[in-house]
Amino acid sequence: MASKKISILIADDHQIIVDGIRSLLEGEKNIIVAAEAGNGKEAIAVAEKNPVDIILMDVEMPLLNGCDATAIITARFPKIKVIALTTYDEKAIISKMLNAGASGYILKNINKKILLEAINTVSNGGTYFSSEIPIVLATKSAETTPVKHDSPLSFLSTREVEVLKHIGNGLSNSEIAEKLFLSPKTVETHRTNIMRKLNIHNVVGLVKYAIKSGLVD
C-alpha cells in the first residue's frame, strides 16, 4: 500500500514565489501541493475546507499577516503544522511566529534540499529552522539569561537534558531514540516529564527554552 502523501498549502501573496515553490516540490513522490492562499484570511479559509498536513506560511501578507493566521490555524486545527517561509530574520518576528505555534522557520534563500528536509522533519513531528535562526534567537539571550543552578533546567536529569537538547535541534522522537539508543516510547516519556518539570506545554516552548538555555548546537 502506498504511503500517504504530505499535503502542502502555500500561503504567500507573491504568485511568483508560490509558483517557484510549487515547481520545486513537483515530482516529489511523498509530497503534493494541495492548495494556495494569497493572504492569512484565505489560508484559514482554505485550511478549514481542505485540512492539509503542512502550511508554508509567509509572514507579511495583506488582510491578515502570517503570525496571526498561524495562531488561529494552530489553535483551530492542531493537526496542521505551520512552517514560516519568509525573508524576515529579525528576532522579534521569529519569536512571534514560534509563539503563534509554528513548527519551523526557514528563509527564502534556502535551496530545495533544505525545503524538503524542513517539510519531512515537521511532518514526522519535529521542528526545523534555517541554520541562521537558532543563532539569531540565542544572541543576547544566552548572555543576558544564563542558566543558574536554581533554574528549572537544574531539576532535569542528565538524560532529560540530552533529550531537551535534541528537541531544541529539531529532532523527532524517533530520531532522538536512535541517537540515544532508546525506544521512541521512552523518549516520549522523557519529553512529557521535561514539559511537566519546566511547566511548558508544547514543543515550540521546549525549543525556545533549549535555545535560551544555550543547549542548541
At 126 the pLDDT is 85
Cell 494569497 found at: 38
What CA dihedral angle connects 140, 176, 121 and 202, to 10 degrees? -60
At 4 the pLDDT is 83
At 58 the pLDDT is 95
> What are the structural domains, with CATH classification, of the chain?
6-137 (3.40.50.2300), 140-212 (1.10.10.10)
For the chain, residues with pLDDT lower than 50 are 1, 140-150
> Which residue type, as a one-letter code, is found at position 200?
I
Say whether pTM exceeds 0.85: no
Residue range 158-180, pLDDT digits in tens? 788 888 888 888 788 888 888 88
Nearest to 11 by CA among 75, 80, 76: 80
Query: Helices (DSSP H) in the chain: which residue ranges?
Result: 15-25, 40-49, 66-76, 91-100, 112-123, 132-138, 141-144, 158-168, 173-180, 184-198, 203-212
Residue range 98-115, pLDDT digits in tens? 888 899 999 988 899 999
At 139 the pLDDT is 57
Read off the DSSP letter of residue 78: T
Cα–Cα distance between 94 and 105 in angstroms, integer?
7
| Beta-sheet pairing, 128-129 with 104-107 | parallel
At 2 the pLDDT is 55
